[in-house]
A and B are shown apart, each in its own frame.
Chain A
Amino acid sequence: MTFWILAAILAFIATLCVVMPLAKNKDELVPDIQLDKALYRARINEIDQDLKLGRISSQQAEAAKSEEGRKLISIAKFEKADEAQSTSARSINFYRVLQGVCLISIPIISLSLYLFLGSPFIPDQSLASRISADPAGQSLEENVSRVEAHLAKSPNDASGWAVLAPVYTRMNRFNDAANAWSRVLQLNPKYPEVRSMIAEALLNTTGGVVTKKARDLFLAELKINPASAKSRYYIALSLSQEGRFEEASKSWQLLIDGTNPQAPWLATAKQYRDDAMKRSGIKPSPKLELPKGAITKGPTKEQILAAQKMNDKDRNLMIQSMVDGLAEKLNADPSDQQGWLRLIRAYNVLGNNQSAKSAIYTAINAHASDVRFIASLNEIQQMMEKQDKQK
């Protein structure tokens, strides 16, 4: 409302600027000849000055003065003729009509143009006002920006990057995710599965194709952590993609043999294995034809979807191994709030609400003074209780 009042005042002032001069009776037009006389005098003064300074001789000065005089006379004639045809008094109605036109046109032009261009209902959103807003009510992007700002100031916070990376993946910012995981690797090379995380993020940027860089990362992960099912899965996939079906079928078989039969991605792995076996069985110069077919075909949409499905549950397995490490770490150093939240969520995702609740209890004890943190923990607890009831 204040806006409309202020806008109305502005429009009113603008209109006044036009209407007022039209209402006031001005002095008669100063004839140009007055100005010319003034100019003439100035010129004569200057000529005198030049003479005094020795710029011109007295003879030249006289000549110059008479030239100025002639100019003035010729102008005067012209002006008199001009003046004769001007200054016809206009009726008061002429101005009234004009004022009326301006009175209507200025506000109308301004308002209609503004309504077309402007956004009168969007309030100012200064940084200060946005910061004081409750983070819970803010968008994902805003919270990501917060974490980004935090990381820009303390870029060595490995756990910060590890929190941010999966969020980037969720926002389809795969390059950023890869970068974030790379930071984690740089800061904490022992972080579980960090190499395969980078590789998986890279995979997302290439549309599921396992590049050499990604492959190398998976291999590096396997060296440290030979049990990494994720790495083995994608290495087998890369062999299939390259058309090295004989090796691929062996890798798939190994993966399938060494896995819990409940693994969600087992079916797809088997499909890949069968496909690889079938193709390696035909064997017509695999270097020439098969790679071509493999490349042009690529992973189908279903395959990608399947892989993603598996990934989610695959991640569960992985989380299980990570969760233990995290729990250990937090018991040793309970100051990492983000770590607690991640641990609790992880237990929850794994279906282990009992452990989750005990973790909440420990976390609350460790951060008894931080009201906001406790509030968010309580929220999670309520959510879990709801889940339990639904079950």
Chain B
Amino acid sequence: MIAEIGHFALVIALALSLIQSVLPAWGAKIKDTRLMAVGQTTAPAIFLFIALSFAALTNAYVTSDFSLINVWSNSHSDQPLIYKFTSVWGNHEGSMLLWVMILAFFASLVAVFGNTLPATLRANVLSVQAWILVAFLLFVLFTSNPFERQIPAPFEGNDLNPILQDLGLAIHPPMLYLGYVGFSITFSFAIAAMMGGRIDAAWARWVRPWALIAWVFLTAGIAMGSYWAYYELGWGGWWFWDPVENASFIPWLSGTALLHSALVMEKREALKIWTLLLAIITFSMSLLGTFLVRSGVLTSVHSFANDPERGVFILIILLIFIGGSLTLFAFRSSSLKAGGLFQPISREGALVFNNLFLATAAATVLVGTLYPLIIEVINGAKISVGEPFFNMTFGPIMLPLLILMPLGPLLSWKRADFYPAMQRLFAVFISAVLVAILVLAFTKDEPYLAAIGIGLAAWVILGAFAEIATRANFRKAGLVGGLHRIKGLPRSMWGTAFGHLGMGVMLLGIVGVSAFEKELVVEIKPKDVVTISGYELKYNGVIPVTGPNYSESVLNFTVSKPGEKTFELNPTKRFYTARKTPTTEAAIETIWLSQLYVSLGDIKSDGSVVLRVWWKPLIVCIWLGAFFMSLGGLISLSDRRLRVGVAKTSKGRTKFKSLENAV
């Protein structure tokens, strides 16, 4: 009964979404407050109904109710409880339900916290969001229904894909969806604005927090996915340019561009058309990613739904939303007035530069992802556009961006002088060069590129705080005065600093691991000792262990290095009985920012095994960088600049009261 209540709640959510897709927008059109207010109750209600449905599905998973086909094919009664929960979205149907729930969640956020928005804009946004909801609820109910039943219920389930039986599944998909789906709000804002609202600086200010929230989650979600793939797949790589990874990376690139261009639009009312376009494109890319993953066009760890029928359905959704929004855009964009003017060398100029390169990077990744698919459709040939393509194109595009990154925040709006900004960065530049020289001096046989790369990372990391240091002005104000000034700095400035810092830290990790990584592949027998980068790994033998729904062979290593604490590593070979699938669990030890990574081949009966050992210097920086970026986003989000509302009337300055009263 609980399962059926969940099913019914999902259907109700669809009915309410249909109402919400009409009434608020109609109300905005005829300026009717009652009609517009409908969205404010329906949006949270839809979310609650979908959440109820999600809870019902979760209940079915936790109690192993295999009369639900979805539960039966993706879980097993022996699973540990945590994986019974995560199994809910470790499959196509359940994850689509999560997708829709997050979509509704964002709509309800707008309904509840959108008090500072003009009523008509809010109503229109809620209606547009409801259109997307209707489309995807229909998709879930008719092609991917997790509540389909079977009688009699099989006694045992098929278990979750063993690769997904990991804590990573608890974090990565929800985070990523919050990011992916979060950009639906900026899309809705763009459509709502074009439906008769205003497209000006105010709009950019309203849309920016939503873009920030989505961006924070998308950044964290992608990074989490990267780390998960790194430790779970056992190949030791952290990014594979896999089409599905790219599908999440493209929206990230265009979303990052959107964050920056919205800044220009907000401050200077320039780049209006471009910002609108980015808002549309970012969500379109999210939809495209969904299509690529769900349609069976691609095969990868993520493509658990290879069903052409679903593919066609998503393709139709894709065409309607992308086609419709671009058509509307074509009509409206011509009527927009040009905004504020600016010189090429100015904050605006720097942000345009940023957008140019980010957009090019996004386009490059898009081409690299779609090209093999298109070729396959045309002549059936299977080609692979792998790492070499992306390394040759993506790197050079990002390079100028990184070089100029510290400079941007130092330029003033409208018109800036290049030289004062360069002067402020002089100390940073000297430090970066010093770092590069030190790297050259202390490493042997390493390419010069590594030294330059680490120097560049130092430039970005130190440069990230150049603006804060300049504003604190310790030289003039002294330590106390400087600190006092730092306290007064707007949070958005810290947000920028941490975001840029994150890029530098990530670059440091990427350069460190690609230049200085050590790899070793050996066949070893018990009692053998392997040495890598000064670490001695002694192989003690194999211990058989029985887990809840698997059996495993745990290899025990004692690792020691003179002057450091000894520790144990236990790489493991697992066998999941229900799916009859083996998995390899790598063993990883983090030592400061570097990691020792041990992975296994097949274990022979005498205990000998092919071992892959990596020393990965600075690799933690890659994910630490992403963490700083997300943190930067959160700090920016807390800036009060983003919370301007009518309620704050009393704080107005008397000096300008006269003007306010005049208008």
Q: B15 and A118: CB pair below 8 A?
A: no
Check if A18 sits within 8 Å of B33, measured CB to CB: no
State the A residues within 8 Å of B (CB). 2-3, 6-7, 10-11, 13-14, 17-18, 20-22, 24-30, 32-42, 44-46, 49, 52-56, 60, 64, 67, 69, 71-73, 75-76, 86-88, 90, 95, 98, 102, 105-106, 109-110, 113-114, 117-120, 122-128, 130, 138-139, 141-142, 145-146, 148-149, 152
Assuming the contacts A21-B34, A42-B644, A44-B656, asked whether A110 and B12 have C-beta atoms less than 8 A apart, the reply is yes
Nearest-Cβ distance from residue B232 to partner chain A, whole angstroms: 24
Interface size on B, residues (CB 8 A): 84
B473 at the interface (CB under 8 A from A): yes
Q: What separation, in Å, do the CA atoms of A22 and B32 have in the docked complex?
A: 10
Closest to A27 in B: B33
Write the B386-425 contact mask toward A (1 if CB under 8 angstroms, else 0): 0000000000000000000000000011100000000000
Enumerate 28 A-B pairs (CB-CB under 8 Å) in ascending A order. Answer: A6-B5, A14-B12, A14-B49, A18-B41, A18-B42, A22-B35, A24-B37, A29-B31, A35-B645, A44-B656, A53-B471, A60-B414, A69-B659, A72-B659, A88-B31, A102-B19, A106-B15, A109-B11, A110-B11, A118-B8, A118-B11, A118-B147, A120-B4, A122-B67, A124-B1, A127-B64, A149-B155, A152-B578
Interface centre among A25, A53, A105 (most CB of B within 10 A): A53
Known: A21-B41, A117-B141. A7 touches B77 (CB 8 A): no
Q: When the two chains form their complex, are residues A113 and B151 in contact, meaning their CB atoms are under 8 A apart?
A: no
* B9 touches A (CB below 8 Å): yes
CB neighbours of B1 from chain A (8 A): 2-3, 6, 123-124
Tell me whether A28 and B14 are in contact in the complex, defined as CB-CB below 8 angstroms, given that A56-B413, A127-B77 are known contacts.
no
Taking a contact as CB atoms under 8 Å apart, the answer to whether B11 and A38 are in contact is: no
B65, A124: Cβ atoms closer than 8 Å: yes
* B440 within 8 Å of A (CB atoms): no
Q: Are B15 and A56 interface neighbours, CB within 8 A? A: no
**B45 touching A152 by the CB < 8 A rule?**
no
Within 8 A of A (CB), among B59-91: 60, 63-67, 77
Q: Is B348 an interface residue (CB 8 A)?
A: no
B297 interface contact, C-beta 8 A: no
- Of the candidates B49, B64, B473, which one forms a contact with A54 in the assembled complex, judged by CB atoms under 8 Å apart? B473
Docked Cα-Cα span, A191 to B520, in Å, equals 47
- Which DSSP category, helix, strand, loop or mixed, fits chain A's interface? helix
A-chain residues with CB within 8 Å of residue B269 when the two chains form the complex:
71
Question: Taking CB as reference atom, which chain A residue is nearest B268?
Answer: A67
How far is the CB of B138 from the nearest CB of chain A, in Å? 10
Contact B205 A39 (CB under 8 A): yes
Residue B604 at the A interface, CB < 8 A?
A: no
Kindly list 6 other residue pairs between chains A and B, CB separation below 8 angstroms, not including A10-B9, A60-B414, A148-B156.
A21-B41, A38-B646, A44-B653, A106-B12, A113-B15, A122-B151
- C-alpha spacing A139/B14, complex, angstroms: 38
CA distance A72 to B155 in the complex (A): 69
Query: Shortest distance in angstroms between A262's beta carbon and chain B's nearest beta carbon?
Result: 42
- Pairwise interchain contact A10-B156, C-beta atoms closer than 8 A: no
Residues in B whose Cβ lies below 8 Å from that of A128: 63
- B223, chain A: closest CB distance, angstroms: 32
Q: How far is the CA of A105 from the CA of B414 in the complex (A)?
A: 55
A118 touches B155 (CB 8 A): no
Asked if B141 and A26 make an inter-chain contact with CB atoms under 8 angstroms apart, the answer reads: no
* A86-B31 contact given A33-B663, A56-B413, A142-B155, CB 8 Å threshold: yes
Are the CB atoms of A76 and B663 closer together than 8 Å?
A: yes
| B119 CB-CB contact with A under 8 Å | yes
- A218, chain B: closest CB distance, angstroms: 28
Closest Cβ of chain B to A47, distance in Å, is 10
Most chain B CB atoms below 10 A, which of A11, A37, A118:
A118
The answer to whether A87 touches B31, judged by C-beta atoms less than 8 angstroms apart, is yes
CB-based nearest A residue for B578: A152
Which residue from chain B places its CB closest to the CB of A153 in the assembled complex? B546
Which 5 A-B residue pairs are closest in the complex by CB-CB distance?
A145-B155, A126-B63, A127-B64, A26-B33, A86-B31
Instruction: List, in ascending order, chain B residues with CB within 8 A of A138's CB.
Output: 155
**Contact A38-B41, Cβ < 8 Å, known A117-B7, A124-B1, A124-B2:** no
Residue of B nearest to A90 (CB): B32
CA distance A95 to B35 in the complex (A): 9
A203 and B656 CA atoms in complex are apart in Å by: 95
Contact of B45 with A14 in the complex, beta carbons under 8 Å: yes
Contact in complex: A130, B49 (CB < 8 Å) = no
Of the residues B11, B40, B66, B412, contact of A21 by C-beta under 8 Å: B40
Q: How far is the CB of B201 from chain A (nearest CB, A)?
A: 7
B648 within 8 A of A: yes
Among B8, B18, B31, B42, point to the contact of A17 (Cβ < 8 A).
B42
- Tell me if B332 counts as interface (CB < 8 A to partner A): no
Residues of B within 8 A of A141 (CB): 154-155
Cβ–Cβ contact B19 & A106, under 8 A:
yes
Q: With A114-B8, A141-B155 known to touch, is A56 a contact of B412 (CB < 8 Å)?
A: yes
Chain B residues, CB < 8 A from A54: 470-471, 473
Whether A125 pairs with B67 at a CB distance below 8 angstroms is: yes
